[in-house]
Chain A
Amino acid sequence: MGKTLAEKILSAKSGTDARAGDIVISRVDFAFVQDTTGPLTLRQFQESGFTRPASPQACAIFMDHAAPSPNREQANDHLFLRRFASETGCQLFEVGQGVCHQIVAEQFACPGDVIVGADSHTVTGGALGAFATGMGSSDVAIAMALGKNWFRVPATIKIDVTGRFPKGVYVKDLILYLIGKIGAEGANYKALEFTGPAVARMTVSQRLTIANMAVEAGAKVGLFPADEVTGAYLEAQGRGARYRPLQPDDDAVYERVIEINAGRLVPTVARPHTVDNTAAVTELKGTKIQQVFIGTCTSGRLEDLAIAARILRGKQKHKDVRLLVAPASRAVMEAALRAGYIRTLVKAGAIILPAGCAACLGVHQGVLGDGESCLSTANRNFKGRMGNPDSFIYLASPATAAASALTGEITDPREVL
């Protein structure tokens, strides 16, 4: 009987014949924290009696969620994180370097790795064929200390994607459609595995967007096969030597198979206050918004900024909309500067925020006022997520976001492309 990607990776890393439902102790290749979960994690690490990680080079601390710090308390958290890094040899990524998940993709994740992060969107690394999953502080502290942790091997739902995306429809619309279809806990405790001809054609940037949101269906991982596209990306990022192809077995056992024809998708929006509350953009036409946010680990990469810049080039954002743009990493920021996208966006009226999480989680840089609505390219629209429980968050693609910035209301990007 063949194996899914999740079973293959956990078999290799646990030294067992791992099957869905088994509980295994697996080696952890890379463990990380960010600045809002890091202080608790590192204190727990110390309380457990450890002074040094099993492998400091395999541990990283990212300052991205409240960066630059909006207040004294979080500035002091940053001090603690810096001190811990210098005392233990953990890798430190300073304020302005970018969102942890983007940097993990750019610099660390490789096919077959097991990666844990004290952040639910750690699943992003699945785009490169890594078993990457979010855990809480205690679990990440133990993974840092011991270089291992226990895992229940997830059953897998296979998502088979065929067809070609129509004009104005993007991978963000695909993942929103899928979450709307199976629900916010449709994949709870399970792996999502993305295959099919449309997946083979996707860039790594597109795969990262999809994998990132696997957790919004409750999934433990959102896994992609490692193929030539993965290999070329790793080569370009300077770690081509770590590429190896990784595919599920033909006779792997899936709990369920869902087929999606990308050619039939339409621009999709998640309405307040759950990610699975989706609708076609056409149903929401005319919904007024006061803020547009383009960025995050979901949709803040160069390709995303290119889509937005293309729509906004030579035009002006609506006068009643604040247009916030945060590149996912410093590398993205630099590439977007070289490509002229930042200039285009600024001329269209955008406010460029530092590379990092920015407005996504309501700690700074774009908290909403009472009754205000934001159209965001992020991954989560829960009540209170952007700092105010009396505000409303809609999630969509960078194209829908850019088109809506022009009009001040939710707008179908196919009208402006």
Chain B
Amino acid sequence: MIRMKGVSKVYEAGVTALDQVNLEIKKGEFVFVVGPSGAGKSTLIKLLYCQETASAGQVLVGGKDLSGMRRREIPHLRRKIGVVFQDFKLLNDRTVAENVAFALFVTGAARRDTQKRVAQVLATVGLSDRQRAYPNQLSGGEQQRVAMARALVRNPELLLADEPTGNLDPKTSVEIFKLMERANVYGTTIVVATHARHIVDSMRKRVVEIRDGSVVRDDRRGAYNR
């Protein structure tokens, strides 16, 4: 699903965020990316959905080389990927259902299919009764569940999450990770950059640790700390 070969990323200011990273993630894997703040976790995630391009090396997602990708192709790649952020990134002037439907709408999906699929995915994340609410009427956990629903509504091959529970309490965080685990069971590859130590420790999935832009550990069933 994902292959990074000798990938480096140097930002314009001269900051090296990633340095010669090699990483392979197979289809259907669940991978935690851990490490201290500023280690390069977010950059790694950003390279995978084309928010940034690598300064050197090769990034392949679903067999596609992202470095040679044209600007026009990026939207089509992103339609196969769900992305979840710490700050939810919801449209505040649209309802819960509209926020989720938006991901289908931009791809030109038929209206009838959209409604059905949105109802389904909202039921999955447990928000069927909040469809008509606006994001600012929801708790943080609920907002993140809306973001999860939006990410999952297209049955993505890959779900990327950058600190998805950074703003949530431990109990709510567990709920979000359970949703990811569920999507993973249905075949979605999951890559999560996180600081949620207790969750990484309890879930026992593959753990990739990054420090100063380099992969320093890759455990098949790892914990937050070595």
Partners in one complex: no
Instruction: Point out residues on A near B: beta carbons under 8 Å.
Output: none
Instruction: Point out residues on B near A: beta carbons under 8 Å.
Output: none
